[in-house]
């Protein structure tokens, strides 16, 4: 027998921080006309249909724009939130910055969504796309690489030729336009600039610089599309052009706003990496030999620094490590190796001090060396020192295969972000499909320092009860037990077969992705199942998704990067399997420190932080299944804690209102009926 979920909180609009009986807004009647059946959006956008949630959301955003206030807006999947914020922004937003979660979404907004809305409204607004400097080909670095670049592979030689040809034809210099060179090809590092090695106004190509052109266009445009990384990199580093835009902006819209706390934390912190040291050594050697060969034994100068950086990495023999500073044993080789690197870096900077006046490029290397010295010097934690409220930070180490990073991460970004929002009155809109936990926005609001700002939620137009089933299988062991992934796959195989492939298997760890790929490859072969496998890491995300859609019966296995921002409509995806509740790893140093502070304040760290964070992530994963009013499918949630733990109820109530079952046969019958009707 199929159990039914209690009515989902998404079933009715929720208004928090505002009264439901709001007076009609200044633009309400115009919004009704624009989004109504006879409005201009229908003819301009092929599949546009009036949706009450979308219209009401657009009214709320128009009202926030008119009153220059803040709005936190959650809109269920299928509401059409992009148009709900673009229409008021293009008509009444003044100078508007739209910040998105990813570069892919940024391109989609700029190339597709904004032109469609602008044409429909006949709105006379200019639009610019602004990305980080690593996205634009640099004339200077391309020429330098063509002259003296030692390519490590034949592919890179071909890619360099393509980039050189592209430079002669492109107007924007944006590497996204050059599909023939993969986005992650190493050659891009040699032909783009960084904040450290950009020559600025001294560069002979300054007038033609694509970064400068993009920033100039952004200055002059009515609407500027950026991404969260760029926005916060700028706030922290003043290096993206957003700083110049902010003073004149009337409206700032964050789409995929649930990503903001993590992105902001990344940029409001400080990171020192041994790979930055090695890059600096490479440039010091090249510039020293070409600009001041007689000034020093450059090979010797850089070799000792490179060795010290590599020795620091080797103090942790494991491949991947995440430890807070207090967790590192005082007797560890790490501390002497850290001092050794400081000394050797000081020595290299002293040589650069004497030679820097001989060339602008050597002066740049000196400046980079000084900045690395400063970051390395600041990475120390004194437990006795008194720290001002709002400036508390976690000091921690992260080791990768070939590099080591020293992080200083703020415990809370709320005070810093609040500082950014002070000053000129403007409208701030935060929107996503997943900002609330059971209609409670306090977790997101507290993280961002938004206090009692108005929060509203609009339901998805999808009929979840008719379109899908939420299946929690019985008989699974504890998720932390040995062999758990194999137990999940054992229960998943009959369901994958019944679904005819068409599956996303979303895992919480890369180890589970690897194990699932091994097991399913073997089982598909044994059982003669013709389902192509697509494994995260084998190819880029976009390429994997394109191949999955074309296959029509594929099984895609992925971790975090496939839980959100992925849109597969129609019959190619009918089953989403989630192996475990996406709780953050307990050894995360920043999480541990935040929970410790909460516990000291008398709060329950798990209920106040860990659980809400997991629910928001889970809602994102669950949101991959139903992307259209005609989609049908099954969400298979394999973690028994959803049933066995007291907090499971809170998770149920935050998920879409699918029919629910614990019986495999109900799911097999669902697929049997689905395919017999086609």
Residue 568 near residue 549, CB atoms below 8 Å: yes
> Is the model's pLDDT at 11 over the cut of 60?
no
Query: Could you write out the three-class secondary structure of 12-28?
Result: CCEEECCCCCCCCCCCH
Q: How do residues 451-494 score in pLDDT, each as one tens digit?
A: 889 999 999 999 999 999 999 999 999 999 999 999 999 999 99
| 662 CB-near residues (< 8 Å, 6+ apart) | 3, 471, 472, 473, 474, 643
Question: Does the domain made of 8-131+213-266+413-458 have the CATH classification 3.10.20.600?
Answer: no
When pLDDT is cut at 50, 70 and 90, the band that residue 149 belongs to is low
Q: What is the pLDDT of residues 314-331, one digit of tens each?
A: 999 877 788 888 888 888
pTM: 0.85
Residue 413 CA: distances (Å) to CA of 111, 437, 606: 32, 20, 19
CA pair distance 127, 492, nearest whole angstrom: 47
Give me the pLDDT at residue 12, please. 34
pLDDT digits (tens, 9 = 90+) for 598-617: 888 888 989 989 999 999 99
Which pLDDT belongs to residue 636?
97
For the chain, the structural domain boundaries read 8-131+213-266+413-458, 133-204, 270-410, 464-677
Task: Kindly compute the dihedral angle of the four CA atoms of residues 79, 82, 87, 90, in this order, to the nearest 10 degrees.
Answer: 170
Percent of the chain's residues with pLDDT above 70: 93
What is the Cα–Cα distance from 238 to 230, expressed in whole angstroms?
10
Please determine, for residue 4, whether its predicted confidence score (pLDDT) is greater than 70.
Answer: no
Write down the pLDDT at residue 675: 78
Which range is most confident: 329-333, 504-508, 672-676? Answer: 504-508
Average pLDDT over residues 10-32: 58
pLDDT of residue 527: 94
Q: Look at residue 151 in the predicted model and tell me its pLDDT.
A: 67
DSSP assignment string, 253-301: EESSGGGHHHHHHHHHSEEEEHHHHHHHHHHHHHHHHHH-GGGS-HHHH
CATH class (in words) of the domain with range 270-410? mainly alpha
CB within 8 A of 532, min separation 6: which ones? 501, 547, 551, 553, 554, 555
Mean pLDDT, the chain, whole residue set: 88
Q: How high is the pLDDT of residue 652?
A: 86
Work out the angle between the directed axes of helices 260-268 and 228-237 (0-180°, nearest 10).
30
Tell me whether the CATH fold assigned to 8-131+213-266+413-458 matches the one assigned to 270-410: no
Q: Identify the residue with better confidence: 323 or 61.
A: 61
CATH architecture label of 464-677: 3-Layer(aba) Sandwich (3.40)
């Amino acid at each position: 027998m199929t159990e039914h979920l209690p009515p989902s909180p998404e079933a009715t609009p929720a208004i928090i921080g505002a009264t439901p009986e709001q007076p009609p807004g200044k633009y309400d009647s115009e919004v009704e006309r624009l989004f109504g059946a006879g409005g201009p959006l229908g003819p301009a956008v092929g599949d546009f249909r009036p949706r009450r949630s979308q219209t009401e959301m657009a009214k709320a955003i128009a009202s926030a724009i008119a009153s220059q206030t803040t709005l936190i807006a959650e809109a269920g999947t299928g509401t059409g939130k992009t148009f709900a914020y673009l229409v008021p922004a293009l008509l009444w937003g003044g100078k508007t910055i739209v910040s998105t979660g990813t570069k892919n979404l940024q391109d989609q907004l700029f190339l597709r969504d904004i032109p469609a809305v602008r044409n429909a409204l006949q709105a006379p607004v200019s639009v610019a796309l602004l990305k980080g400097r690593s996205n634009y080909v640099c004339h200077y670095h391309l020429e330098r690489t063509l002259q003296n670049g030692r390519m490590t592979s034949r592919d890179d030689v071909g890619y360099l030729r393509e980039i050189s040809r592209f430079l002669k034809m492109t107007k924007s210099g944006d590497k996204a336009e050059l599909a023939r060179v993969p986005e992650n090809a190493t050659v891009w590092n040699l032909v783009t600039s960084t904040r450290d090695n950009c020559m600025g106004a001294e560069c002979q190509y300054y007038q033609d610089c694509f970064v400068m052109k993009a920033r100039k266009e952004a200055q002059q445009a009515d609407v500027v599309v950026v991404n969260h990384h760029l926005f916060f990199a700028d706030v922290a580093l003043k290096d993206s052009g957003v700083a110049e835009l902010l003073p004149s902006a009337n409206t700032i819209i964050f789409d995929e706003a649930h990503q903001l706390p993590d992105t902001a934390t990344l940029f409001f912190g400080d990171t020192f990496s041994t790979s930055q040291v090695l890059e600096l050594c490479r440039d010091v050697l090249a510039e020293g030999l070409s600009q001041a060969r007689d000034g020093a034994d450059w090979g010797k100068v850089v070799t000792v620094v490179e060795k010290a950086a590599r020795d620091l990495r080797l103090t942790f023999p494991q491949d991947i490590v995440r430890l807070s500073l207090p967790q590192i044993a005082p007797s560890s080789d790490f501390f002497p190796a850290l001092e050794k690197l400081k000394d050797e870096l000081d020595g290299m900077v002293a040589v650069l001090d004497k030679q820097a006046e001989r060339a602008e490029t050597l002066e740049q290397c000196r400046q980079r060396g000084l900045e690395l010295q400063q970051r390395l010097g600041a990475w120390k934690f004194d437990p006795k020192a008194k720290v001002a409220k709002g400036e508390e930070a976690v000091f921690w180490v992260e080791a990768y295969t070939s590099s080591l990073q020293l992080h200083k991460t703020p415990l809370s970004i709320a005070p810093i972000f609040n500082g950014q929002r002070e000053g000129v009155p403007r409208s701030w809109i935060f929107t996503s499909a997943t900002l609330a936990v059971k209609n409670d926005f306090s977790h997101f609001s507290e993280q961002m320092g938004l206090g009692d700002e108005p929060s509203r939620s609009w339901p998805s137009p999808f009929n979840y009860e008719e379109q899908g089933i939420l299946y929690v299988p019985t008989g699974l062991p504890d998720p932390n037990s040995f062999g758990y992934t194999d137990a999940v796959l054992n229960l998943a195989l009959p369901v994958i077969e019944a679904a005819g492939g068409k599956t996303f298997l979303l895992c919480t760890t890369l180890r589970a992705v690897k194990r699932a790929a091994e097991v399913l490859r073997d089982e598909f072969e044994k059982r003669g199942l013709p389902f192509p496998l697509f494994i995260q890491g084998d190819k880029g995300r976009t390429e994997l998704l394109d191949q999955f859609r074309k296959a029509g019966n594929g099984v895609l296995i992925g971790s975090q990067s496939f839980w959100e921002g992925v849109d597969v409509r129609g019959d190619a995806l009918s089953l989403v399997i989630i192996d475990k509740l996406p709780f953050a790893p307990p050894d995360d140093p920043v999480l541990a420190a935040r929970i410790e502070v909460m516990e000291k304040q008398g709060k329950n760290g798990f209920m106040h932080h860990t659980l809400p964070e997991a629910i928001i992530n889970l809602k994102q994963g669950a949101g991959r299944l139903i992307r259209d009013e005609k989609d049908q499918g099954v969400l298979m949630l394999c973690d028994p804690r959803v049933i066995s733990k007291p907090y499971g109820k809170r998770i149920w109530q935050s998920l879409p209102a699918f029919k629910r079952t614990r019986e495999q046969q109900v799911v097999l019958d669902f697929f049997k009926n689905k395919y017999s009707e086609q």
